[in-house]
């Protein structure tokens, strides 16, 4: 077993997944802020305020990403490392096997930051999470696979 490859796989799936999640949350929050502050005719909310908030929202996006997605990212990264240890690389089918386990980790982690009455049903949250997590895992798999193929002579 190549320890450097294992560490690289863990970092690609954990940090890469965190960066993708942060980017998605930040883009959503920036779009919502720009829509609220620039496209409405409220004189109390200016586009300058939206630009200020847009510069700060990626930091909030990272905090929200860690709060919402820490356990699923950790579980996905550990299972990817296990796949690399068993098969020598992370097979594509294992990414689809990791997805249900990440969904279970998301359910086990809970979402205490949702207000009780405003929370969408769990089934809706799971569908949204799975719809986001699938391309995230595939992109991390592709990134790791690309590095794996470059390491071969």
Which residues fall within 8 angstroms of residue 12, CB to CB, at 6 or more apart?
A: 80, 140, 143, 144, 147
Domain boundaries, the chain: 3-148
Task: Decide: helix, strand or coil at residue 116.
Answer: coil
The predicted structure's pLDDT at residue 116: 58
Q: How far is CA 151 from CA 102, 122, 128, 144, 147, in A?
A: 28, 42, 35, 11, 6
Inter-residue contact 80 to 90 (CB < 8 Å): yes
Q: Encode the chain (153 residues) as per-residue pLDDT tens digits.
A: 688 888 888 989 899 889 998 998 889 888 888 888 888 766 777 777 778 888 888 898 898 888 888 888 999 999 999 988 898 888 888 888 888 888 888 888 766 555 556 666 677 777 788 888 888 888 888 888 887 666 655
């Amino acid at each position: 077993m190549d320890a450097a490859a294992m560490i690289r796989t863990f970092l690609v799936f954990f940090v890469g997944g965190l960066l993708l999640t942060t980017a998605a949350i930040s883009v959503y929050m920036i779009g919502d802020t720009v829509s609220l502050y620039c496209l409405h005719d409220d004189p109390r909310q200016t586009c300058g305020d939206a630009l200020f908030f847009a510069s700060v929202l990626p930091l909030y996006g990272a905090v929200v990403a860690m709060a919402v997605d820490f356990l699923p990212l950790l579980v996905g990264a550990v299972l990817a490392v296990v796949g690399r240890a068993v098969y020598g690389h992370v097979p594509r089918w294992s990414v689809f096997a990791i997805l249900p386990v990440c969904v279970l980790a998301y359910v086990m982690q809970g979402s205490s930051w949702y207000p009780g009455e405003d929370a969408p049903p769990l089934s809706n949250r799971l569908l949204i999470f799975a719809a986001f997590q699938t391309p995230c895992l595939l992109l991390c798999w592709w990134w790791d696979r690309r590095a794996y193929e470059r390491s071969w002579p």
